[in-house]
Structure 1
Amino acid sequence: MYACLFFLAEGLRPFRKAALCALLCCTLSSHAQDRRSVTEPTLPTTVCTTLEPRSTGNEAARLQAALNACPAGQALKLQRGPLGDRFMSGPLRIPSGVTLWIDAGTTLAASTRPADFDTGSGQCGRIDALGKGCQALLTLENTEYSSVMGEGEILGQGDQRMEGSTETWWQLARRAQREGGKQNNPRLIQINQSRNVVLYKIRLRNAPNFHVVLDRVQGFTAWGVVIDTPADARNTDGIDPGASEDITIAHSFIRTGDDNIAIKALRGPSRFISVLDNHFYSGHGMSIGSETNAGVSDVLVRGLTLDGTTWGLRIKSDADRGGLVERVRYEDVCLRNNRWPLSLTTQYAKGAVGTSIPQYRDIRFQSVRGQGGQPELQGFDEAHAHQVLLDGVHIEGAAPWKVRHTRLDTATPASPLPDCTARWLPFPEAKDSALPAPTGQVLLVGPGRPYASVTAALADARAGATVRIAPGTYREVVRLQLPGLRLLGEGATPQDVVLEESRSAADTGTTSKSAVVFAEADGIEIHNLSIANRFHEEHPQVTQGAQAVALYASGDRQRFVGLRLISFQDTLYAARRACNSGAACPPARQFYRDTVVIGAVDFIFGNALAYFDGLDIYGIERPQVIVTAQSCQTEGEVCGYVFRNSRVHADAAVQHIVLGRPWRALSTVTFLDSELDGRVISAGFIDWNQENRLPTTRYAEVNSRGAGAVPPGTRQPHMHTLDAAQLHTISSANRYLAGSDGWQPERSEP
């Protein structure tokens, strides 16, 4: 049974009245939830087309053509490839019955060019009185059984400067707030007048505006979705069902700069909604409103954990946009670090005038445990007083409740409180960061940071400094000349941070001087970024002096992890510093892991002692591409290349892949446990300009796989066979690169 507490508006004095209790203890609907039988979705079984990124520019036309050609019931799958893991795009429309599948490790990123999203008004990227000048990145309109799925990411780039502007999308939103206007920023996903739409496992990040908006949708499931945007990013709601029915949002993680979920009812009622077993972090909480004009009803929120949201369980409206909100059930809820853990307010816009009076009735809080904050239950007036049931609700350490124009029921006996101990989970980050922990001096590069360029930061750096680089493209030449320097890209993928220039041997005088990044000192590390020499892209017809190095590495004990190195001729110069002592020159030990190297001619070359683990080696554009040009030249010289667990392949223009040619007479290269494309030539290696160097080379191949693998003895006749001791040495970078000081480059990052 229930005990009724009636709070008088004037004195907040409780009265118990049996008659009132009988009146208020109406039966809550047993259908206060999605009427469908909803189970976990599954990934598609039929894929119409699989696409890999083709360029760094806007690929919307290519993606839209593939979506349009995909039959209903099938999926367009986006996956990472040798040219990257990111598709840049303007607005896309998903046809009825089609699934957009974004594979793990793949990103669909919104263009930062406002004109790409403009609706025709010319206002996208500007401030006006309406805020309706941009299309969404993804629109589903008048569709049935369409989906967005996969463990990849949709990236809004709200934190990036708009093309042609000095502001980011989010900075525009803040300026609009100060100026009393509305920002024209694109939403991430807009779903209009559709049925049975599914979002499954997808990660949505940094939307310029709302992440997911539903308008007049019948049947929608979001399951296992992750939404991640900073707490200070204005108007970045997570999921907003509006004028929609039969909605389930389950097993999802949401942190954002506005409402984590906001149920609205502007152009029609919203009802039969289930919010089940979700985790919210920063944001404005589990909201209903502010637009409740057409009525919200039959909502079940169960198993919700709110860890650090400003508001917790919240219903908000005012006299300008109010309506009836009824049959709302909150069950098994854990809250902590919330300023207002429970909030039912009818004065959302202060001083709002109108006749659309909000009224909330049959609102039940059952098994709710919170910590701190101040609950507020404030109705509009006595004629529209809240009707609320509290059944097993305890907010430990809360400030005195603000209660006004509210009729409260309490359950006797009360339902048990939830055990929240195991429910405070860390937010699921995009990946387990491989970046090493900073030590010593840390210099921050990026918009709004102390340094606008890497070069500027390095001017103030000391030996052993760490330079952390925010996502963005930095067109500059970078020279690392102090021991122990570390460059760390702070994006979710190496593609998020790009160091680029356009330089060639003809421009700079020699191949070695054409690099974009020079890693010249010992102990240098570079992690999680892209280095691109754009010379060939910008001068495709130039062939003389066209060597264009992306990374020139010449120091000892250097580590390069999670990079993308992009050029055409001579992409990676893995070399040793020049000296005059021949074989006595100290070695340059270098370790490369999980790195993509893109090129066409001799695109991994030099005389370092280098170990490449998990490389993706990708040839481009020429009929024949040549991977290595190693240059050991004297007996006793400590140098050579080992490629372990790597992949050698190429784009469609390539007919033949050559594993290498000897730049010097003792060229030393081993491929170990690697996957070879079927276009790898049967000889494997070729000579250097008919200079008969092959007889003295030290080329070896062990345990290759893939269509390009051949039986032992099939390659050119001068291939070496490695004995057990040699195989033992090359099977580990720690052994191959140990040297006299016992260096261990395969260490795990802290």
Structure 2
Amino acid sequence: MKPIPLAVTARAAALRLPVSGALYHLPRPLGWSLIVPDGSDRRGIADAAILMLDRLEPDTLYRLRVAGMDEIEFRTRACAGMHVAAGLVPARDPGDLDAARGNASRLVAAIANLPRGGTLVLPPGDWLAMPVALRSDMVLHLSHGAVLRAPSDRRDWPILPARDGQGRMLGSWEGLPAACFAAPLHAIGAERLVIEGPGTLDGGGAQGDWWTWPKDTRDGARRPRGLHLVDCHDVILLGFSIRNAPSWTIHPQGCSDLVAAGLQVDAPPDSPNTDGFNPEMCRNVLIAGIRFSVGDDCIAVKAGKRGPLGEDDHLRETRGIRIRHCLMQRGHGGLVIGSEMSGGVHDVAIEDCEMRGTDRGLRIKTRRGRGGAVSGIAMRRVRMDGVGTAISVNAHYHCDADGHAHRVQDRAPAPVDATTPRIDGILVEDVTIRDLAHAAGCFLGLAETPIRNIRVRNLRIESLDPTARPVLPDMADHIRPMLHETLLAEQADLDCDDPGLISTAPITLQEVTHVPD
């Protein structure tokens, strides 16, 4: 057994410590030492399964020793040159637009002048800046004590159009092309991009009025993300903190081959739609060792949304998402898939994670009109503490303006066409639930396309929340409040190795009053 490198850059590395029973935290702390060729070493204590190392030297061979594991060697990447951002002006207050504009101009110029493969270092300090675009073949290193903060005033804030000149979706909102304010840090079409270091990105959502209009458009645009990556390839995000995003915190859109490890993602519990990490229409994404505490879903995997008139030219599938050793605290859901899933979401696995106090654990949500398919979803070795509904799969999710319409909520079979969603293949294995409030599992499928191939193995309910009260387990019409339920299924093919966990109680109310279209 030896540490497994997940990502190594010129000055940082993320390694997985493969300890039996490790979730986000290790069962017990382990000492480590990092040795360079001259024999000098650094020592520390690891308490998390993902070990983050920084302050490394480029193109240097290191040996890592972790207590109880075999020694490994790894070499950091070469660096084409390091430049410290110069001339930045400290912020006097969040509304200091002169400082924000000047700092952004200096950062943009420094990025343009970086050699290919070079590193731009943000020095310690509290730096206010208007949104900045990153490019290919660069590293942004956030020093310890460095905070890059967005201003509270959106005057002169750049806007991403819904599409570029070739029709490619740039700006988006809930899975559809839409003009949106550019994220404080963003990149379009970048390759071999690294953002690393122990510093902090602050999206400024706690200042200004961003959180007062969560579903609206102002000045012709939707709210910005905290970090927005559009059609980027070979991206590494390591070690930094990101907080107070105006809307979704990290939004990779149409990206491939992305590694995010050792981050801290924070937003106040009452901040609207501040999801933590939302890979949308992406391929081959690893999310490892991230601590989430946000105002909405911790991780929401998406694949775009079919338009109201059936528009689908912007859609692409999401495939190959791996989530390991993460800690989800608060939040509406731990791992959520949908409801924007029209391009299809396939091959998603969450393993060795902890969820604490989230409304739901694993959640899949869709509805008639979405189309697309969700398949190959696995949750293994996950512990949930104080989660309301541990597993929720809902094909009658009442989103959008017509979400309560009869055609969306009707339990009778509807005609099957391109707008009919499908869910096939859910594995839940070695999951422990403590202080269960509402239901261990609630699976509500469509009569015309029932949920297929649900397998539950070694699910343990260790305790019930004695303070819980009956509430609805998910957002669908005609369902009943639940308290301390086990596994319930309607229009769903459920196979559990413990038949005693399968409830015969209905999900849907016995008397249904339809809401007219």
TM-score, normalised by the number of residues in structure 2: 0.65
The match for 1:222 among 251, 257, 260 is 260
The equivalent of 1:102 in structure 2 is 142
Do the aligned partners of 1:293 and 1:323 also contact (CA within 8 Å) in 2? yes
CA distance in 1, matches of 2:294, 2:156: 25
2:210 counterpart letter in structure 1: W
CA distance in 2, matches of 1:213, 1:193: 11
Do the aligned partners of 2:159 and 2:221 also contact (CA within 8 Å) in 1? no
The equivalent of 1:89 in structure 2 is 129
Flag the structure with more relative contact order, 1 or 2, with Cα contacts below 8 A and sequence separation at least 6.
Answer: 2
CA distance in 1, matches of 2:160, 2:145: 34
Could you tell me how far 1:403 is from its partner in structure 2? 1.8
1:159 aligns with 2:206: yes
Could you tell me how far 1:201 is from its partner in structure 2? 0.5
Do the aligned partners of 1:173 and 1:234 also contact (CA within 8 Å) in 2? yes
Do the aligned partners of 1:43 and 1:149 also contact (CA within 8 Å) in 2? no
The equivalent of 2:108 in structure 1 is 64
The equivalent of 2:8 in structure 1 is 41
The match for 1:257 among 295, 306, 312 is 295
Offset from partner CA, 1:486-522 (integer Å, 9 cap, x none): xxxxxxxxxxxxxxxxxxxxxxxxxxxxxxxxxxxxx
CA distance in 2, matches of 1:87, 1:406: 52
Do the aligned partners of 1:130 and 1:182 also contact (CA within 8 Å) in 2? no
CA distance in 1, matches of 2:351, 2:156: 40
Could you tell me how far 1:38 is from its partner in structure 2? 6.7
The match for 2:372 among 323, 330, 333 is 323
TM alignment of 1:681-696, pairs within 5 A: none
1:290 aligns with 2:339: yes
2:252 counterpart letter in structure 1: L
The equivalent of 1:343 in structure 2 is 392
Q: Structure 1 pair 120/412, CA: closer, same or farther in 2 (3 Å)?
A: closer
The equivalent of 1:693 in structure 2 is none
Question: Where in structure 1 are there 5+ consecutive unaligned residues?
Answer: 1-36, 122-126, 162-167, 415-750
Question: Where in structure 2 are there 5+ consecutive unaligned residues?
Answer: 12-57, 59-78, 92-98, 162-172, 305-314, 409-416, 465-483, 501-517
CA distance in 2, matches of 1:409, 1:382: 20
Offset from partner CA, 1:631-654 (integer Å, 9 cap, x none): xxxxxxxxxxxxxxxxxxxxxxxx
What secondary structure does 1:362 align onto? strand
1:330 counterpart letter in structure 2: M
Offset from partner CA, 1:657-691 (integer Å, 9 cap, x none): xxxxxxxxxxxxxxxxxxxxxxxxxxxxxxxxxxx
1:86 counterpart letter in structure 2: D
CA distance in 1, matches of 2:488, 2:382: 20
CA distance in 2, matches of 1:205, 1:301: 23
Could you tell me how far 1:383 is from its partner in structure 2? 3.1
The equivalent of 1:149 in structure 2 is 196
CA distance in 2, matches of 1:382, 1:173: 34
CA distance in 1, matches of 2:432, 2:303: 29
Q: Structure 1 pair 133/273, CA: closer, same or farther in 2 (3 Å)?
A: closer
Do the aligned partners of 1:291 and 1:322 also contact (CA within 8 Å) in 2? no
Segments ≥4 residues shifted beyond 6 Å: none
CA distance in 2, matches of 1:65, 1:288: 39
The equivalent of 2:181 in structure 1 is 134
Do the aligned partners of 2:238 and 2:262 also contact (CA within 8 Å) in 1? yes
Do the aligned partners of 1:378 and 1:386 also contact (CA within 8 Å) in 2? no
The equivalent of 2:329 in structure 1 is 281
CA distance in 2, matches of 1:205, 1:404: 39
Q: Structure 1 pair 120/367, CA: closer, same or farther in 2 (3 Å)?
A: closer
The match for 1:389 among 455, 467, 470 is 455
Q: Structure 1 pair 383/55, CA: closer, same or farther in 2 (3 Å)?
A: closer
The equivalent of 1:364 in structure 2 is 427
Do the aligned partners of 2:187 and 2:232 also contact (CA within 8 Å) in 1? yes
Could you tell me how far 1:118 is from its partner in structure 2? 3.6
Do the aligned partners of 2:7 and 2:236 also contact (CA within 8 Å) in 1? no
1:222 counterpart letter in structure 2: A
What secondary structure does 1:383 align onto? coil
Offset from partner CA, 1:196-254 (integer Å, 9 cap, x none): 11110010000011111112111001000110101111111111111111100001101
The match for 1:169 among 210, 228, 246 is 210
1:212 counterpart letter in structure 2: I
Do the aligned partners of 2:303 and 2:338 also contact (CA within 8 Å) in 1? yes
CA distance in 2, matches of 1:238, 1:331: 21
What secondary structure does 1:86 align onto? strand
TM alignment of 1:558-707, pairs within 5 A: none
The equivalent of 2:358 in structure 1 is 309
Task: Report the count of equivalent residues.
Answer: 359
Do the aligned partners of 1:358 and 1:384 also contact (CA within 8 Å) in 2? no
The equivalent of 1:585 in structure 2 is none
Could you tell me how far 1:116 is from its partner in structure 2? 3.2
Do the aligned partners of 1:280 and 1:305 also contact (CA within 8 Å) in 2? yes
Could you tell me how far 1:392 is from its partner in structure 2? 0.6
The match for 1:111 among 145, 148, 151 is 151
Do the aligned partners of 2:7 and 2:259 also contact (CA within 8 Å) in 1? no
The equivalent of 2:491 in structure 1 is 405
Do the aligned partners of 1:194 and 1:217 also contact (CA within 8 Å) in 2? yes
TM-score, normalised by the number of residues in structure 1: 0.45
1:145 counterpart letter in structure 2: R
Do the aligned partners of 1:38 and 1:248 also contact (CA within 8 Å) in 2? no
Could you tell me how far 1:183 is from its partner in structure 2? 7.5
CA distance in 2, matches of 1:333, 1:55: 43
CA distance in 2, matches of 1:102, 1:225: 12
What secondary structure does 2:155 align onto? helix
CA distance in 1, matches of 2:130, 2:326: 31
Do the aligned partners of 2:446 and 2:491 also contact (CA within 8 Å) in 1? yes
TM alignment of 1:449-468, pairs within 5 A: none
In proportion to residue count, which structure has more strand? 2
In proportion to residue count, which structure has more helix? 1
CA distance in 1, matches of 2:397, 2:291: 26
1:298 counterpart letter in structure 2: D
1:230 counterpart letter in structure 2: P
Could you tell me how far 1:133 is from its partner in structure 2? 3.5
CA distance in 2, matches of 1:90, 1:182: 18
1:98 counterpart letter in structure 2: M
Could you tell me how far 1:410 is from its partner in structure 2? 2.3
Offset from partner CA, 1:168-193 (integer Å, 9 cap, x none): 2112327x49x9x9973221111111
Do the aligned partners of 1:357 and 1:380 also contact (CA within 8 Å) in 2? no
CA distance in 1, matches of 2:258, 2:144: 23
2:89 counterpart letter in structure 1: R
Do the aligned partners of 2:181 and 2:221 also contact (CA within 8 Å) in 1? no
Offset from partner CA, 1:442-473 (integer Å, 9 cap, x none): xxxxxxxxxxxxxxxxxxxxxxxxxxxxxxxx
1:295 counterpart letter in structure 2: G
What secondary structure does 1:187 align onto? coil
Do the aligned partners of 2:227 and 2:251 also contact (CA within 8 Å) in 1? yes
CA distance in 2, matches of 1:132, 1:311: 31
Q: Structure 1 pair 160/131, CA: closer, same or farther in 2 (3 Å)?
A: farther
Offset from partner CA, 1:561-595 (integer Å, 9 cap, x none): xxxxxxxxxxxxxxxxxxxxxxxxxxxxxxxxxxx
The match for 2:119 among 75, 81, 89 is 75
What secondary structure does 2:278 align onto? strand
CA distance in 1, matches of 2:272, 2:221: 10
1:74 counterpart letter in structure 2: G
Q: Structure 1 pair 361/96, CA: closer, same or farther in 2 (3 Å)?
A: same
CA distance in 2, matches of 1:308, 1:323: 31
Could you tell me how far 1:259 is from its partner in structure 2? 1.3
Moved more, 368-377 or 299-308: 368-377
Do the aligned partners of 2:294 and 2:331 also contact (CA within 8 Å) in 1? yes
Q: Structure 1 pair 103/413, CA: closer, same or farther in 2 (3 Å)?
A: farther
CA distance in 2, matches of 1:307, 1:385: 27
